[in-house]
């Protein structure tokens, strides 16, 4: 991560199996608003689609450009297997139910996860690596607004699985 830029993190859920998620990191944003707009698909150069194909991960932007993501900007998250078998364990999965796993893109393809991943959540990280509280909403006139709030020290996340905000849909 660049020392003077903000990073957008996007959580993507596998279409083939919702027990698997990928989290991608995208740095180089001048401010948290720009990073949030990118993560929510609200600019021409914003993230819109993620696909795993034969051991390669591809990101498509709103403008139609597509590029391959390197393994070092993608984390793999999984629900515990025992949590998927009985409805009493995880009737609705939550971010904290997932755990990070070390798997290659080839291994993900081999277990049948090739295909699309749906954008489900996002987060913004400041130049120092701390979570930024950013929310996108519609104001009373129907215009998009971005709110950036300071987080108290006890609210800051301790690891990469911080609680992500919901992707805005307009």
Q: Specify which residues 135 forms β-bridges with.
A: 147
Q: How far apart are CA 2 and CA 31, in angstroms?
A: 13
Q: Tell how strand 165-166 and strand 74-78 pair up.
A: unpaired
pTM: 0.80
CA 129 to chain CA mean position, Å: 16
pLDDT bucket at 158, cuts 50 / 70 / 90 = very low
Least confident of 31-45, 102-116, 149-163: 149-163
| Two tokens, residue 48 | 């819109």
- Within 8 A by CB and 6+ apart from 70, the residues are none
Is the predicted pLDDT of residue 46 greater than 60, yes or no?
A: yes
Question: What pLDDT is stored for residue 136 in this prediction?
Answer: 83
Which is nearest to 163 in space by CA: 127, 117, 125, 137?
Answer: 125
Higher pLDDT, 89 or 9: 9
Every domain of the chain and the residues it spans = 6-166
In this structure, the chain runs to a length of 170
Q: pLDDT, tens digit, for every residue of 117-148?
A: 999 999 999 999 999 998 888 888 888 777 88
Question: What pLDDT is stored for residue 156 in this prediction?
Answer: 45
Q: How far apart are CA 20 and CA 110, in angstroms?
A: 14
């Amino acid at each position: 991560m660049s020392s003077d830029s903000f990073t957008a993190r996007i959580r993507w859920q596998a279409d083939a199996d919702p027990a698997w998620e990928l989290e991608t990191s995208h740095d180089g944003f001048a401010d948290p608003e720009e990073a949030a707009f990118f993560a929510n698909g609200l600019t021409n150069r914003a993230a819109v689609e993620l696909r795993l194909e034969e051991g390669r991960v591809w990101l498509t932007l709103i403008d139609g450009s597509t590029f391959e993501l390197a393994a070092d900007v993608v984390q793999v998250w999984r629900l515990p297997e025992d949590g998927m078998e009985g409805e009493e364990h995880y009737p609705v999965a939550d971010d904290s139910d997932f755990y990070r796993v070390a798997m290659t893109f080839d291994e993900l393809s081999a277990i049948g996860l090739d295909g699309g991943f749906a954008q489900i959540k996002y987060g913004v990280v400041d130049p120092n690596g701390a979570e930024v509280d950013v929310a996108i909403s519609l104001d009373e006139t129907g215009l998009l607004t971005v709110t950036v709030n300071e987080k108290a020290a006890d609210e800051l996340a301790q690891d990469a699985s911080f609680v992500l905000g919901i992707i805005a849909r307009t």
